[in-house]
Structure 1
Amino acid sequence: MRDVCVIGGNRYFGKRLIDRLTAAGDRVTVVNRGSSPPPAGTVHLVADRDDEESLTRALGTRTFDVVVDQVCYTPRQAAVARRVFAGRTRRYVMTSTVEVYEYEDAPDLVREEAVDPRTVAVDLELPWDDAEFLEGHYGEGKRQAEAVLAAGPAFPYTAVRVAHVLGGPDDFTGRLDHYVSRIRTGAPIAVPAVNHPATYIHVEEIADFLAWAAGQDFTGPVNAASHGVLGTGELCEAVAAHVPGGRVELRSVEVGEVSPFSFVRFYGMDNSRATRLGFTFGHTKEWLPRAVAETLGKDN
């Protein structure tokens, strides 16, 4: 039986992760600000993870086998977490993102070494507490957070770079709803003039991956993505299958806002490191119809 701490994780794939950990017999402690109760069977600690004193006081003398940080978005948060959990845990799993590759102009699936966090410059003085700044620098915040964890002295971390997540009736992003409304009325769907595909992962699969990663001993970045890239057209056709009489019309635009999951650059991740380490991914084409049905609340 392991002692596992999850920071955040009260919704979407975070709550699925907690379900998997408790089902496996782990003792799970959930740390959040107290705005919502954690899943049953867990210990709840209320703390502001941005406040080092608050977090330290809430943890008391507790130690853990694994910490899974679901809500680390900035280098400041990573620095606080590293100071607080150094010596308290044997393993630290940070949920990162495919967006760390936003500056990589790779023509093919990108591997982890394309962004080595040990070479990323960290600027703690940027306005990371400003919500608008953070939203516009999501990938940069995650990249610098990884860099803080990767810096010396050695800290037993891994950064799970998560592909775009689909599926589940509790998908709160509203991104597929955008397509539903456009397809239902036959309205054009704006995409970039050069529209690139990306890698994705099902909500249940990323929960499986994080639960698996918590029990491993590898360190450093690791990509988590299902096999097979998807383009906007494939996503739209999957949505249209659940919209009676729906019609897909993609319209290329040179400037202006484009639809969700439409990309001016290729966001494809190579998952071979995780595969070599022992995780078996599914294929997007196998789970995409189910993911759309789940999100839209319809049957396959």
Structure 2
Amino acid sequence: MVMDKPREVLVIGGNRYFGKRLITRLLAAGDRVTVLNRGSSAPPPGAVHLVADRDDETSLRSALGSRTFDVVVDQVCYTPRQAAVARRVFTGRTRRYVMTSTVEVYEYEDSLAPVRETDVDPLGVAVDLGLPWHEAEFLDAHYGEGKRQAEAVFAAEPAFPYVAVRVAHVLGGDDDFTGRLEHYASRIRSGEPIAVPAVNRPATYIHVEEIADFLFWTAGQTFTGPVNAASHGRLTTQDLCDAIAAHLPYGETVLRETEIGTVSPFSFRRFYGMDNSRAVGLGYVFGRARDWLAGAVAETLGAAAPVTSGKGD
């Protein structure tokens, strides 16, 4: 029997959370996987490891040498500068480029209807390479804008077929490094108030395993442009708190409304719901957020099963 030639896949970054799950899936499928990062951590066994600073074009070209790839999955493209470097370096080196983007590209949209990919057309986004994208504080404060402009760079001069996967808020896994669910758990345990907006909007989410599956699936497809990746259904802050409280032996959920100032993670003054119909129409089957929420909380908080509080219904 004649076997198909294994794909050559490069993953930039991606050594933690859903990135490492993606690498595991690629290796299991028989792909030849190369992982490029700054050397802070080694990839899973079976992957080739390249060390380079992706912000340094000379370093990146040197590390890659003459290598070419069927697919590049860029997990850590946060700025238009990084996108511009990648576009120059990978022109002629790849047949497909998958950039991991974010729901935060819709941060300027204010709609109660789930946002579609066409609501933020990267061709209409102005790019400013002169902004201080190299400064961590600036980048952190402009995360969504950085992703928007990075998408715009790839779209304006498409040197290769590209996809921007706009990822919903990710939950689940025992290696969630964000601490966002633990923020709620610690306050519920102590009864400390949880700051939420006076009008607190729901959002769409995706499980850590599901986004790894989606990125793996996307790498093997031929469609291009932006695509939303989100489980079906919306969750509110109260939904998250209820799921967390069910896994704690004691505590109380106290939501405190605030008009101004910082609110708790996953509490939103605007609607962060994404329409996933494009991906569904292309053939991807998403799960339902309410079906995996309890398990995601258990994974992250290390709880084996919901614990009853002893209180009456």
Using the size of structure 2 for normalisation, the TM-score is: 0.95
Residue 191 of structure 2 aligns to which amino acid in structure 1? G
In the alignment, what sits opposite 1:135? Answer: 140
Instruction: Find 2:262's aligned residue among 248, 257, 270.
Output: 257
Pair 1:123-2:124 in alignment: no
Number of matched residues? 300
1:107 is paired with a residue whose SS is coil
CA contact (8 A) 2:10 2:69 kept: yes
Q: Distance in 2 between matches of 1:155 and 1:213?
A: 15
* 2:192 pairs with 1:190: no
- The residue aligned with 1:98 is 103
Partner of 2:304: 299
Specify the SS of the correspondent of 2:84.
Answer: helix
> How far is the alpha carbon of 1:107 from its aligned partner?
1.4
**Among candidates 228, 231, 249, match of residue 233 of structure 2:** 228
Could you tell me how far 1:106 is from its partner in structure 2? Answer: 1.4
The alpha-carbon distance between structure 1 residues 281 and 243, as it changes in their structure 2 partners (threshold 3 A), is: same
Residue pairs, 1:29-68, within 5 angstroms: 29-68=34-73
1:17 partner letter: L
SS for the counterpart of 1:212 is helix
Query: Which of 205, 214, 219 is the matching residue for 1:200?
Result: 205
Match of 2:153 in 1: 148
Partner of 1:163: 168
Whether the 8 Å contact between 2:94 and 2:160 is mirrored in structure 1 is no
Structure 1 unpaired stretches of 5+: none
Q: Deviations over 1:116-137 (max 9, x none)?
A: 0011000000000000000000
% same residue: 77
Name the SS for the 1:266 alignment partner.
coil
1:159 partner letter: A
* CA–CA distance in structure 1, aligned partners of residues 76 and 49 of structure 2: 16
1:175-201 deviation line (CA, Å, top 9, x unaligned):
011111110011111100111010000
| CA deviation string 1:8-41 (max 9, x = no partner) | 0000000000000000000000000111111110
- The alignment's C-alpha RMSD in Å is 0.7
Structure 2: distance between partners of 1:21 and 1:262: 34
What is aligned with 1:107? 112
Alpha-carbon displacement from aligned partner over 1:159-217 (angstroms, at most 9, x marks no partner)? 00000000000000000111111100111111001110100000000000000000001
Distance in 1 separating the partners of 2:175 and 2:158: 40
